[in-house]
Structure 1
């Protein structure tokens, strides 16, 4: 298994720690630990190691699935990784919709043959016919994330159902990374609820503001869950009992409603602020769902990387170069942070643009 370096994570490792303001964060602002009861009891393994059965049943009900069709993981990253290990090898083929978070194509590429199907800018539309044309007899998996990272495009229910039918018609699975789904005002049904070939992965990171929990799950058919659980014995074994304890509180109906309502309001407000900033400077994006926008690089800069390097060096503000997503003419901006911090970051960018205009 040979895998490409994770360009975005290496960029963050080089710059995030010492910079003053992070304008490339891909999730909503973090909640304080003091909001929750932090005593899970004894710090042993969660037994059974796939997660507490009652909580898995509650999560499974969101997808029309049982507790045995849910596996708790260390974030969505592990959930996706376990699915790829369970479904892909040298004899398999996968179709991946890009641009996307790098692990959603780099991990499959390390395990199997992969065909990428690009979204169509500037609105980043997804053509199901293009996915259908990429299918081969050995295709076992189609991969999409919705809403999309980095573009913020939220593909319609009709489009995702078309992808599901394409997968099902060929006996392949559709994996949808849905970490931003609950930041939408009117979320479409999750892919795992669409039928036996649907797999959903998500976490409490992006929409809930609980990145530090490293708590996520995958929901899908039992054969995939069992295979992924088998691989999980070799990765993290069980969820963290502290993470699961806090997750159970966050997913309580009343708490969850309050968290998501507050976070959607923040995302809406910050999106308007960011849109006004981009308009002032003549920069374009597709109006996103979630808390990421994929923005055109300003005139005078050859690539997103050269632009972002100058910004972090001169203003101590971190943006994400579009080069990390295969689009060197773009950069990603994250606007999920507290509004005061967003305003401060955009003010520094105003100063940067004034200096380089």
Structure 2
């Protein structure tokens, strides 16, 4: 099995540690730990290792699912990884690879195919991991609207398609595909006896979130965490919600990855999803909306463009005077110590990803520094290298 290097993580590893400002992060600013009780008592494993049953039942209620249809994980990254392991056939499967029922009537057979349809651009793990286990067909969103096309997904689906993968709202574009389009894609999954996996880690940053895919029916799987919308990245706490057969199979794989979710993560997550939730989400949505307006005004001032995003990511056109996004982003970080993400990491070298979920003062300082790079390039009428010359 071979997996491609994770381009975005390698880019961050090259620049993030030494840079002054991280203007490429895809989540909301982190909450202070002092807002929570941090004493869970004895530092043991979470028992049972799939998560506290009452808490899983509470999370399952959000999807119309039972406790046995929820598995707690170390962030959305593990949730997606375990789901792919569970779905992509005998090449990656657990046990004998025979089809399993999810307990809700006829359902997609778990482990019955090695093909995935993945809507891109998206977070690299959502196509690189299934490509390592099986065969991937990408369906590209097209700029400038980045609209989801259910017909294109239907054309890409095959008899051996096990899963269709969508990130909604989308990273890096910020496009929030509407419920009708998502339900049409779900129907494609049903027609092919496959699953629709939706990474919904940004969903609750929307002012009016759509219903989660796991609530659509027995072919729907939702993955998420408290990282992006709640500002709790350090908890490393997420989950899978979906058919019991998929969740059970993912739990078998989890025995070989992280064994159990984080005890601290589960303890604080109970608080974040309890009485504190409404206040946390209201604060974070307000911050996201305020910052989106700040960035939109900055883009207009510098003649740049994006699709008006939901969440805290935008996919921005590269300024004039630079060969591509990598050239621009290297100049920015090496002259102004601000990290952006080149769009080539997502397959679009003429764009860069900007994250605007960081504290307001850092955002404004970062934009001012990036603006200086753009203004220098405009004044000199050509490429500006990392040393600041024409």
Please report the TM-score for the alignment, with normalisation by the length of structure 2: 0.91
For 1:22, the equivalent position in structure 2 comes to 22
Structure 1 unaligned blocks of 5 or more:
none
DSSP 3-state at the match of 1:237:
coil
Measure, in 1, the Cα distance between the counterparts of 2:50 and 2:324. Answer: 44
Q: What is the CA-CA distance between 1:283 and the residue it aligns to?
A: 0.4
DSSP 3-state at the match of 1:307:
helix
For 1:350, the equivalent position in structure 2 comes to 371
Measure, in 1, the Cα distance between the counterparts of 2:161 and 2:365. Answer: 47
Q: Is 2:63 aligned against 1:41?
A: no
For 2:231, the equivalent position in structure 1 comes to 209
Q: 1:270-321: per-residue Cα shift (whole Å, max 9, x none)?
A: 0000000000010010000000000001111111111100000000000000
2:159 to 137, 140, 159: 137
Measure, in 2, the Cα distance between the counterparts of 1:118 and 1:286. Answer: 16
Measure, in 2, the Cα distance between the counterparts of 1:280 and 1:191. Answer: 38
Measure, in 1, the Cα distance between the counterparts of 2:79 and 2:34. Answer: 27
Q: 1:76-123: per-residue Cα shift (whole Å, max 9, x none)?
A: 000000000011144511100000000000001001111000012101
Structure 2 unaligned blocks of 5 or more:
92-112, 379-390
For 1:59, the equivalent position in structure 2 comes to 59
DSSP 3-state at the match of 1:333:
strand
* Poorly superposed stretches of 4+, deviation over 2 Å: none
Q: 1:198-247: per-residue Cα shift (whole Å, max 9, x none)?
A: 00000000000000110000000000000000000000000111111001
Q: 1:46-69: per-residue Cα shift (whole Å, max 9, x none)?
A: 000000111101000000001110
For 1:313, the equivalent position in structure 2 comes to 334
Measure, in 2, the Cα distance between the counterparts of 1:332 and 1:138. Answer: 34
- What count of residue pairs does the alignment treat as equivalent? 356
Q: Is the 8 A contact 2:320 2:377 kept in 1?
A: no
DSSP 3-state at the match of 2:289:
helix
Measure, in 2, the Cα distance between the counterparts of 1:350 and 1:139. Answer: 46
Q: Is 2:268 aligned against 1:246?
A: yes
For 2:304, the equivalent position in structure 1 comes to 283
For 1:7, the equivalent position in structure 2 comes to 7
Measure, in 2, the Cα distance between the counterparts of 1:226 and 1:220. Answer: 10
For 1:98, the equivalent position in structure 2 comes to 120
For 1:332, the equivalent position in structure 2 comes to 353
Measure, in 2, the Cα distance between the counterparts of 1:155 and 1:311. Answer: 31
After TM superposition, the structure 1 stretch with the greater mean CA deviation from structure 2, 108-117 or 88-97, is 88-97
> Which is greater in Rg?
2
Q: Is the 8 A contact 2:166 2:199 kept in 1?
A: yes
2:258 to 227, 233, 236: 236
After TM superposition, the structure 1 stretch with the greater mean CA deviation from structure 2, 307-316 or 88-97, is 88-97
Measure, in 2, the Cα distance between the counterparts of 1:354 and 1:87. Answer: 50
Pairing 1:254-293 to 2, within 5 Å after superposition: 254-293=275-314
Please report the TM-score for the alignment, with normalisation by the length of structure 1: 0.99
Measure, in 2, the Cα distance between the counterparts of 1:200 and 1:232. Answer: 17
Q: 1:243-266: per-residue Cα shift (whole Å, max 9, x none)?
A: 1100110000x3000000000000
Q: What is the CA-CA distance between 1:172 and the residue it aligns to?
A: 0.2
Q: Is 2:344 aligned against 1:323?
A: yes
Measure, in 2, the Cα distance between the counterparts of 1:115 and 1:351. Answer: 41
For 2:104, the equivalent position in structure 1 comes to none
